[in-house]
Amino acid sequence: MTQVSNLGYPRLGENREWKKAIEAYWAGNQTQEQLEENLRELRLDALKKQAEAGIDLIPVGDFSFYDHILDLSYQFNIIPDRFANQESSLDLYYAIARGNKENVASSMKKWFNTNYHYIVPEWSSRTKPRLTNTRLLDLYKEAREQVGDKAKPVITGPITYVALSSGVDDFTVAVKKLLPLYKEVFTQLVDAGATYIQVDEPIFVTDEGEELVEAAKCVYAYFAKEVPQAKLVFQTYFEALVKADQLSDLPVAAFGLDLVHGREENLDAINKGYFEGKEVFAGVVNGRNIWAVDLKASADILQAIEGKVAKLVVQPSSSLLHVPVTTKNETELEPVLKNGLAFADEKLVELRLLADRLDGKESEGFAKHVADFDALQAADFRHVQLEDISSVKTERAPFADRQKIQAAKLNLPILPTTTIGSFPQSPEIRRTRLAWKRGDISDQDYKDFINQEIARWIKIQEDLDLDVLVHGEFERVDMVEFFGQKLAGFTTTKLGWVQSYGSRAVKPPIIYGDVKHIQPLTVEETVYAQSLTDRPVKGMLTGPITITNWSFERDDISRADLFNQIALAIKDEIALLEEAGIAIIQVDEAALREGLPLRKAKQKAYLDDAVASFRIATSSVEDDTQIHTHMCYSKFDEIIDSIRALDADVISIETSRSHGDIIESFETAVYPLGIGLGVYDIHSPRVPSQDEVVANIKRPLQRLSKEQFWVNPDCGLKTRREPETIAALEILVASTKEVRQQLKNR
């Protein structure tokens, strides 16, 4: 019988129970014991679901109290020096992730090319790795009581873990320090009855992985010698395995391969016989998108490779962490569309159907799934109509000329202060929005409430003495979902939540058809805000690349065509804002770097398409209209040329959470356009000191001119509370004025 394995399951719960429990603990409304019990119930429910779906190897250790990489850092005592004197506790764990009154949080980065963020492990000369707890063993024992020997422990491998760390002076030395700890963990698990142990090594689908092949040989030879009973699955995802001809010889029990995103290369490696005599865990169901799998095509792939490997196990292409839990609650979706979707629970069913098909079992479930899949492909909304973009303007006047014209129009001081766009979404805002959605209050009552919030925050911003204001985005649930509710070709879900970072969840819209601008998106609120003040108010839009990367995108057209469809829609909205007198328009591309292919050979085409679509959206404005953009949590040095090519008048980026490292990309490249480097971390409730913010402003001024530099937080403020937001912005403005005075006195 063909086995089915799963790599990971969503933590959030069907109705974000995970998020709510953790935030209740942070707010002091739940004890640690209550939190642990609530999360235990969620964990056990996930195990039960997977067992009932017929999963033979159920992941254990994928569940977390915040982030799986942070779990490993905490277990291995990779604690930042600034927290070293604090007693080990759950509060220390959360302080590393979120910061506290005394210390800033650890850096946060995107997990490869996904919208999931992990907490970056911090090493120093004082780091002394040791095993501080038996977390994975405890979780395995708990799971074994529930699902028996189906329980499969999951852990991030040592090479990927160290490669994703900061502060590592000697890579080889750091890995060697961890090997005895992994050995102990593996030994504990084997002694407790574990069969397969999934060791995630996704670094080996990247170009960087090509330089780590020798390290892999040493590490896995060590494990084979020291824990020969451990059946390790060398698991990769998001792309094809690099150097398959060499890595396939590793002394491990099995290899997990992504046959969705790395299909061609991985299939080529299998066909060349690299995995002959090996066990292969074949990822044929897309773990990152929500469309139902083409069962016939996937079954054909599995049947083609079955005889070329020693054993074939069916699984998703990656953890199901990246998709919502279930479609069963999506009662308002059009039936043809809903039946063509597969969230985590439905993907488990697909996996079992594929395994049964390999075993020669015919089922009504398989036939129905095929019929639903075919009905979706035949639907009218899947027929593609591409607009001609050849006549769309994609070039603006030189920046130096625009800068003079905009400076004369806006008359801003040096080091202008602004925010990224959103302000706190208070419980009252969320309650009122819910009441409006339920029909408990009228459209006019809801509009009046939103306008009251806009007016209140315009006054707050003026009192803070910010130079460029925003309307606050109180009408928006999310910077992408909001646009998905107003553009043709999109739909939104009721409970399609996905974890982004920590307890932060997003509800990506679904792009199912051709995207078109059919109504004003942001004009009414922006124009109202501008009517309340003499200071400029930024129009706030999300760019085509970010909308695509933060949506569940259609998979039946090219990404370039999809980028351009959305770009044309955003262009139409920009024209309406400009016509209404809005002088500054921000088009956020927070996720541009996120969508970058993991292999350099594939990156240029993506970046060229991204730049082209941004310029389609933004280049038709007049020279005196200032275009801003925003990006966050990226390795900017890799894409600095493309960022420059966007030709935005001002870019604002995250720098505080990265502890200033990101600034170097813009200093060394001599970035010529306007730039706002985020001077404090909004993902932590901690209010920065004025000395910190002054230092964060002054560092880049060593290389950047004061005429091009803006001062802003590092991201939107939606998730923060009002008192801490106002306090932090007071520090930001005071710090800016201090630096302005210092510059004036030079």
- Going by the annotation, the residues of the binding site are 16-19, 110, 420-422, 473, 550, 588, 594, 630, 632, 654, 715
Reading the block at residue 341, the tokens are: 């979707």
**624 close to 406: Cβ distance less than 8 angstroms:** yes
Q: How far apart are CA 425 and CA 475, in angstroms?
A: 9
With both helix axes pointing from N to C terminus, report the angle between 90-98 and 68-75 in degrees, rounded to the nearest 10.
130
**10 close to 320: Cβ distance less than 8 angstroms:** yes
CA-nearest of 739, 698, 600 to 113 is 600
CA distances from 745 to 74, 414, 704, 732 (A): 48, 14, 18, 20
β-pair type (504-506, 498-501): antiparallel
The three-state secondary structure class of 232 is: strand
Give the number of other CB atoms < 10 A from CB of residue 740. 16
β-pair type (151-156, 117-119): unpaired
Collect all residues with Cβ–Cβ distance below 8 Å to 521 and sequence separation of at least 6: 482, 483, 486, 487, 541, 573
CA distances from 54 to 3, 246, 346, 693, 741 (A): 9, 34, 12, 54, 68
Residue 311 burial (CB < 10 Å; 0-12/13-18/19+)? middle
Q: How far apart are CA 319 and CA 619, in angstroms?
A: 39
The three-state secondary structure class of 240 is: coil
> Which positions make up the binding site for Zn(2+)?
630, 632, 654, 715
The three-state secondary structure class of 125 is: coil
Give the number of other CB atoms < 10 A from CB of residue 483. 26
Cα Rg, the chain, nearest whole Å: 26
**141 close to 150: Cβ distance less than 8 angstroms:** no
The three-state secondary structure class of 561 is: helix
Give 341's DSSP letter.
Answer: B
Collect all residues with Cβ–Cβ distance below 8 Å to 201 and sequence separation of at least 6: 156, 157, 159, 160, 216, 234, 235, 236
**352 close to 320: Cβ distance less than 8 angstroms:** no
Give 25's DSSP letter.
Answer: H
Reading the block at residue 387, the tokens are: 């607009």
User: Which residues are marked as active site?
Assistant: 683
| Amino acid at position 723, single letter | P
Helices then strands, counting H and E runs in the chain, come out as 27, 20
Residue 28 burial (CB < 10 Å; 0-12/13-18/19+)? exposed
Strand partners, 491: 510
The helix (run of H) or strand (run of E) holding residue 719 is none
Strand partners, 282: 257, 314
> Which positions make up the binding site for L-homocysteine?
420-422, 473, 588
**414 close to 711: Cβ distance less than 8 angstroms:** no
Residue 86 burial (CB < 10 Å; 0-12/13-18/19+)? middle
